Every structure is written in C-alpha cells, then in structure tokens.
C-alpha cells in the first residue's frame, strides 16, 4: 500500500539561498529581534509586498516590452487594418 503524506505549510515551501552583505543580515536579525519575527518570515513578507506592488508593475512592463519585441511587426500590421 502506498504511503500518503500529509501536506503542511512547511512541505509546500522551496529553499532559496541568497548571499547578502553582512550589514544587511545584521539589520534583518535586529529587525526580527524587535518585531518577534524570524529572518525567514521577514524576507517572505518583504518579497510578498514587493511582488504585490512595484514588482507587479515591473512584470506588466516586462510582458509589454517582450510582446512588442516579439510581435511588433505583426501588431503594426494589425493596427493598419
């Protein structure tokens, strides 16, 4: 019989290794100490906030720019119809 595995939040996560300057790490550690958050929780929160705001705008602009470069000729021809 196959074993089933309970899915938990911890199992639904990927590992991301990021190298940051020592000063930034110390700031994150200090922030976490005073806000009672781990560095991991703080970084996840910051990434979520970025992707919901400025990052989303950059994605939209990047998609537009890429579509123009890939399909610009066809779009120009369609505009004249």
> Which has the closest alpha carbon to 67: 7, 27, 59?
59
How many domains does the chain divide into?
Answer: 1
10, part of any domain: no
Range of the domain at 35: 20-79
Q: Tell me, what's the pLDDT at 72?
A: 80
Q: Tell me, what's the pLDDT at 78?
A: 81
Q: Tell me, what's the pLDDT at 33?
A: 93
**Inter-helix orientation angle 54-79/39-52, to 10°:** 30
Check: pTM over 0.85? Answer yes or no.
no
55, part of any domain: yes
| pLDDT by position in tens, the chain (length 81) | 455 555 555 578 899 999 999 999 999 999 999 999 999 999 999 999 988 988 888 888 888 888 888 888 887 778 877
DSSP of 50-74 = HHHTHHHHHHHHHHHHHHHHHHHHH
11, part of any domain: no
40, part of any domain: yes
48, part of any domain: yes
72, part of any domain: yes
* Distance in angstroms (rounded) separating the CA atoms of residues 67 and 44: 30
Which value, to the nearest 10 degrees, does the dihedral of the CA atoms of residues 45, 46, 47, 53 take? 110
């Amino acid at each position: 019989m196959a074993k089933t595995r309970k899915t938990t939040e911890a199992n639904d996560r990927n590992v991301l290794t990021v190298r940051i300057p020592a000063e930034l790490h110390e700031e994150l550690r200090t922030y976490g100490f005073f806000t009672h958050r781990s560095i991991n929780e703080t970084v996840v929160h910051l990434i979520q906030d970025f992707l919901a705001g400025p990052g989303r705008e950059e994605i939209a602009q990047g998609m537009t720019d890429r579509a123009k470069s890939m399909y610009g000729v066809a779009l120009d021809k369609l505009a004249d119809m």
